[in-house]
């Protein structure tokens, strides 16, 4: 694709702030993730992003993966105070004790779900709405929804932390559970699950 053609592509304003964000927007944001470990990674990163920029998280993503056993919940669930101290001393990640401890707690909650034959990914996807927003500009993109409020309540009941409605809506957008790409964006409908008008693609 020529540079001129690329410059005419419509993206959300946040995706234009840095080449790393643009790449994330064009390749990953809104694409379906349906495995527990993949969903757990994104849930964790969204929680760490709270109060920070997503660019900060993306820049540290590889360090997060190295520090947290590639987001495998099994070893994370076994972390103790020594691991918390190790993570607090790791300059590659966000050194926030509450968020680190929440990640460990969330891994344990996920393991408990799996022991009962339940799936985090299936729970998150069960809150897929009947229709998706149709924003024509960034200001029209919601920050939460009835479904994200319900998902947050569900996960809190299961023992998850840092899973408020806004964070869960960001997660749903990132996973393609909803499609909040601008209607004019070349990425609208990229998940294959949503039509440009916000209706579900018939499966």
The secondary structure of the chain in percent helix, strand, coil, rounded to multiples of 5, reads 55, 0, 45
- Which of 46, 127, 147, 194 is an active site residue? 46
User: Does the annotation count 46 as an active-site position?
Assistant: yes
Closest by CA to 40, choosing from 145, 144, 119, 127, is 119
- HSE-up of 195 (CA within 13 Å, CB side)? 9
Question: What's the rounded Cα separation, in Å, for the pair 68 and 80?
Answer: 13
In this structure, how many other beta carbons lie within 10 angstroms of the beta carbon of residue 64?
A: 22
Question: Which two three-digit tokens encode residue 74?
Answer: 């099994």
- Which of 25, 29, 41, 54 is an active site residue? 54
User: Does the annotation count 24 as an active-site position?
Assistant: yes
User: Does the annotation count 14 as an active-site position?
Assistant: no
Residue positions annotated with a catalytic role: 24, 46, 54
């Amino acid at each position: 694709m020529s540079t001129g053609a690329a410059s005419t592509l419509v993206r959300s304003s946040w995706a234009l702030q840095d080449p790393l964000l643009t790449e994330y927007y064009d390749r990953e944001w809104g694409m379906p993730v349906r495995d527990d470990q993949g969903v757990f990674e994104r849930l964790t990163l969204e929680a760490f992003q709270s109060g920070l920029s997503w660019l900060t998280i993306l820049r540290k993503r590889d360090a997060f993966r190295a520090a947290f056993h590639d987001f495998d919940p099994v070893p994370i669930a076994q972390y103790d105070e020594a691991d918390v101290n190790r993570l607090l001393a790791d300059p590659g990640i966000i050194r926030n004790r509450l968020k680190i401890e929440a990640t460990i707690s969330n891994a344990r909650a996920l393991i408990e779900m799996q022991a009962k034959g339940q799936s985090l990914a299936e729970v998150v996807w069960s809150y897929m709405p009947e229709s998706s927003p149709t924003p024509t500009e960034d200001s029209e993109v919601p920050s939460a929804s009835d479904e994200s409020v319900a998902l947050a309540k569900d996960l809190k009941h299961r023992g998850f932390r840092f899973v408020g409605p806004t964070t869960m809506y960001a997660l749903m957008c990132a996973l393609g559970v909803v499609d909040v790409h601008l209607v004019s964006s070349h990425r609208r409908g990229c998940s294959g699950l949503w039509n440009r008008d916000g209706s579900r693609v018939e499966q």
